[in-house]
């Protein structure tokens, strides 16, 4: 028989310890200005909002207007750890002198893991504390030429006072949510989504902007860009290409050991959409936000989807874990298969004459007759506003048209 007189003090002590731990952890709750100090191009800042949730601590990476919830959060009396299994990335911050935090962020790139030195202090200012006076207004749409090859795109900015938010849409996809300021004639914008980083710097001169963009593995000089107030029509966020072949055949594994083939009975007489992507690709994450609910809604109409994942590195076990995390994060109801690495050789092995894949994500639409009907290249995420609505509408129109056909 349990001796409650003896166990009661033990239980009380455990409860007090748990309460004390929670109270200590609460000391790190609040808003932090985090900066990656050794990022190419200079420090890259963003806001981290840590707070108490019903089932434990929550953390949000803030790139206005987006509040991106961290997948896993651990807070102790002297540390904050954020983990993004779907990206295979991690941020670790520990208490430092003067009420600050210091640590590292580890992000995965094609060349391997990259470590960024992180520092944090209380506050929400982005680049410059205090009052900032802009020399003009950069709000609106800009024609942009990006990189050494002068790739054409659209920069979309909003300015309130000196604060600037927006994004850039390129043929390869958008750069997600940018936030920063116009300080005098100097434009500074940054973004971090748990893995991908972007630091955009430029100078305003009349109706032109000119500068460079830096990612975690950018060259010292960054990638040059130049923009002028928009005078031309919108670029197409998603390009529809004529298929290089009318048939596609593969047999590839899922993380749970199942083999998936287009010849499987579940796909016979169905419209099949194949999403080509990778967990490393930020635009693929944005596309998954749309594809998950869409696949669930249209399955009853005869639609099936397959996620064809090309992941960094030769460690297949790690790739499988990351695919599982990606699928879980977005509650994807369709099979996700491991297809190799995101290079020309592996995409050619799987896709044949439909390869190589030049833009991630890309999407293959297969009719009820089993023939490849269209290939859509690129995506425009939520940061692009109307462009995002347009690509989702065109996606649905393509699927609906194919569903009306007979096998």
Whether residue 246 sits in one domain with residue 205:
no
Res. 15: pLDDT tops 80: no
Whether residue 160 sits in one domain with residue 106:
no
Within a domain: 135: no
Within a domain: 314: yes
Tell me the per-residue pLDDT of 150-180, one tens digit each, with 9 for 90 and over.
Answer: 999 999 999 999 999 999 999 989 999 999 9
Whether residue 159 sits in one domain with residue 74:
no
Parallel, antiparallel or unpaired: strands 303-310 and 271-277: parallel
Within a domain: 311: yes
Within a domain: 10: no
Within a domain: 5: no
- pLDDT value at position 239? 86
- pLDDT value at position 172? 87
Beta bridge partners of 277: 309
Strands (E), 85-127: 89-95, 101-109, 112-122
Q: Of 135, 134, 166, 163, which is closest to residue 153 (Cα–Cα)?
A: 166
Rounded Cα gap, residues 363 and 146, in angstroms: 24
Whether residue 173 sits in one domain with residue 118:
no
Tell me the per-residue pLDDT of 80-117, one tens digit each, with 9 for 90 and over.
Answer: 999 999 999 999 999 999 999 999 999 999 999 999 99
Q: What is the pTM assigned to this prediction?
A: 0.90
What CATH number is attached to the domain comprising 274?
Answer: 3.40.30.10
What CATH number is attached to the domain comprising 184?
Answer: 2.40.128.120
Residue percentage of the chain with pLDDT more than 90: 87
Q: Is the peptide bond before 356 cis (omega within 30 degrees of 0)?
A: yes
Identify the DSSP state of 190: E
Joined tokens for residue 202: 């430029």
Tell me the per-residue pLDDT of 286-327, one tens digit each, with 9 for 90 and over.
Answer: 999 999 999 999 999 999 999 999 999 999 999 999 999 999
Range of the domain at 30: 19-122
Q: Of 138, 231, 148, which is closest to residue 189 (Cα–Cα)?
A: 138
- Average pLDDT across the chain, whole number: 93
Within a domain: 368: yes
- Helix axis angle, 316-329 relative to 282-298, nearest 10°? 60
Residues 6+ apart with CB under 8 A from 149: none
Whether residue 388 sits in one domain with residue 286:
yes
Whether residue 259 sits in one domain with residue 213:
no
Rounded Cα gap, residues 37 and 357, in angstroms: 34
Whether residue 189 sits in one domain with residue 88:
no
Within a domain: 12: no
- pLDDT value at position 26? 75
Per mean pLDDT, which range of 11-20, 160-169, 227-236 is the poorest? 11-20
Res. 283: pLDDT tops 60: yes
Residue percentage of the chain with pLDDT more than 70: 93
Within a domain: 134: no
- pLDDT value at position 242? 80
Q: Of 377, 355, 400, which is closest to residue 250 (Cα–Cα)?
A: 355
Residue positions counted in the chain? 407
């Amino acid at each position: 028989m349990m001796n409650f007189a003896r166990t009661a003090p033990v239980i009380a002590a455990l409860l007090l310890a748990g309460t004390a731990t929670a109270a200590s952890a609460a000391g790190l709750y609040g808003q932090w200005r985090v900066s990656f100090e050794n990022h190419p191009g200079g420090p890259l800042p963003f806001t981290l909002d840590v707070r108490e949730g019903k089932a434990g601590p929550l953390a949000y990476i803030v790139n206005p207007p987006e509040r991106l919830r961290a997948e896993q959060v651990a807070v102790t009396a002297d540390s904050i750890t954020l983990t993004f299994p779907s990206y295979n990335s991690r941020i670790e911050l520990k208490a430092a002198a003067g009420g600050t935090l210091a640590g590292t962020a580890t992000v995965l790139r094609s060349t391997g893991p990259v470590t960024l030195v992180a520092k944090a202090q209380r506050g929400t200012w982005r680049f410059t504390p205090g009052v900032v006076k802009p020399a003009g207004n950069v709000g609106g749409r800009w024609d942009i030429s990006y990189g050494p090859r002068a790739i054409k795109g659209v920069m979309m900015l909003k300015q309130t006072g000196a604060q600037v938010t927006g994004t850039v849409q390129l043929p390869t996809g958008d750069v997600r949510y940018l936030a920063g300021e116009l300080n005098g004639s100097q434009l500074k914008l940054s973004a971090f989504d748990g893995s991908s980083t972007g630091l955009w710097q430029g100078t305003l001169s009349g109706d032109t902007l000119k500068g460079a963009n830096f990612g975690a593995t950018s060259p010292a000089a960054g990638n040059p860009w130049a923009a002028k107030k928009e005078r031309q029509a919108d670029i197409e966020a998603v390009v529809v290409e004529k298929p290089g072949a009318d048939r596609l055949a593969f047999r590839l594994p899922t993380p749970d050991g199942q083999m998936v083939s287009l010849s499987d009975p579940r796909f016979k007489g169905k419209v099949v959409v194949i999403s080509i992507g990778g967990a490393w690709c930020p635009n693929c994450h944005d596309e998954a936000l749309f594809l998950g609910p869409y696949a669930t809604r249209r399955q009853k109409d005869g639609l099936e989807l397959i996620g064809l994942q090309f992941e960094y590195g030769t460690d297949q076990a790690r790739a499988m874990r990351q695919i599982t995390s990606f699928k879980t994060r977005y509650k994807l109801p369709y099979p996700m298969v491991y297809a190799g690495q995101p290079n020309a050789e592996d995409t050619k092995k799987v896709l044949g004459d439909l390869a190589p894949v030049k833009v991630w994500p890309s999407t293959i639409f297969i009719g009820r007759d089993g023939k490849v009907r269209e290939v859509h290249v690129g995506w425009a995420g939520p940061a692009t506003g109307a462009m995002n609505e347009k690509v989702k509408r065109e996606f649905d129109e393509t699927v609906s048209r194919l569903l009306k056909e007979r096998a």
